[in-house]
Amino acid sequence: MQEEFRVIYLNTKNAVICERTVSKGTINTTVVTPREVFCSAVRLMAASVILVHNHPSGDPEPSKEDIDLTKAMTEAGKIISIPVLDHCIIGTGRYVSFKEQGKI
């Protein structure tokens, strides 16, 4: 299993317009930048996005890199008026939501 970073693009009523895999990595990392996430968001005229990625280790607790990435994506989204509504990390049998934890 490898780490994958996906983005769910939403319209103004929070209905899904599209879901895309933006990056596939190794067993413990993947690289993604705001450019990959928001290029499609602009093309799709998305009103907002939800970030989702998995942790192949099974432990969905966010790493420092996950927290830093979420902050960068949230700031980039603010600049172009496409908010990041959540960042969910999927593990084995459970997940972590930045929104539920009050981190977004």
DSSP string across the chain:
---EEEEEEE-TTS-EEEEEEEEE--SS-----HHHHHHHHHHTT-SEEEEEEE-TTS--PPPHHHHHHHHHHHHHHHHTT--EEEEEEE-SS-EEETTTTT--
Prediction pTM value: 0.94
> What is the tens place of the pLDDT at every residue in 15-68?
999 999 999 988 888 889 999 999 999 999 999 999 999 999 999 999 999 999
> What is the tens place of the pLDDT at every residue in 64-88?
999 999 999 999 999 999 999 999 9
Instruction: Specify the pLDDT at position 75.
Output: 97
